[in-house]
Amino acid sequence: MPRKPPIVFPQEQRLLSQLGERLKLARLRRKLSNAVVAQRAGISRTSLYKVEAGDAGATLGMYLRVLAVLGLEADINGLAADDKVGRKLQDLALEAPTTAPRRRRITGDVAIAPADADKGTGSTS
């Protein structure tokens, strides 16, 4: 039984369709038939049709193989290369947190200041 394709939001489907269209145009510019590209990519013609249609069920590996056949595999390095949001989050995490002033610890009716707690002496307040 065939697997159910993943759920894809409309904006994501548009992106996949645009990518598929660009791959198809690249193939046609090179005057390569779909049978030749499919054979060189090691995928079926049906899988190539799915890639060129932007089908979400086509694997990333299929897209990469088609890119390689067309000589465009280096373009994959541009994906998520400039992660602006991730860098901002990382920079925020690296900023020194402001520390709250140290509180005095109270044990019973004797208050021990943080400096005195290390020495083992207590002072009464």
Q: Is residue 18 part of a domain?
A: yes
Residue 20 lies in a domain: yes
Per-residue b/e over 83-94, b at no fewer than 16 CB within 10 Å?
eeeeeeeeeeee
Summarised one tens digit per residue, pLDDT across range 77-120 is 888 888 889 888 888 888 766 666 677 777 666 655 555 555 55
Tally of domains in the chain: 1
Calpha distance 68→28 (Å, rounded): 15
Q: Is the pLDDT of residue 24 over 90?
A: yes
Determine, yes or no, domain membership for 41: yes
Judging by DSSP bridges, how do beta strands 110-112 and 105-107 pair with one another?
antiparallel
CATH number of the domain enclosing 46: 1.10.260.40
In this structure, is residue 108 part of a structural domain? Answer: no
Within-domain flag for 34: yes
d(CA 124, CA 94): 40
Asked if residue 43 belongs to a domain, the reply is yes
Q: Give me the numbers of helices (H) and strands (E) for the chain, helices first please.
A: 6, 2
Length of the chain: 125
Range of the domain at 31: 10-78
Question: pLDDT digits over 62-73, tens only?
Answer: 999 999 999 999
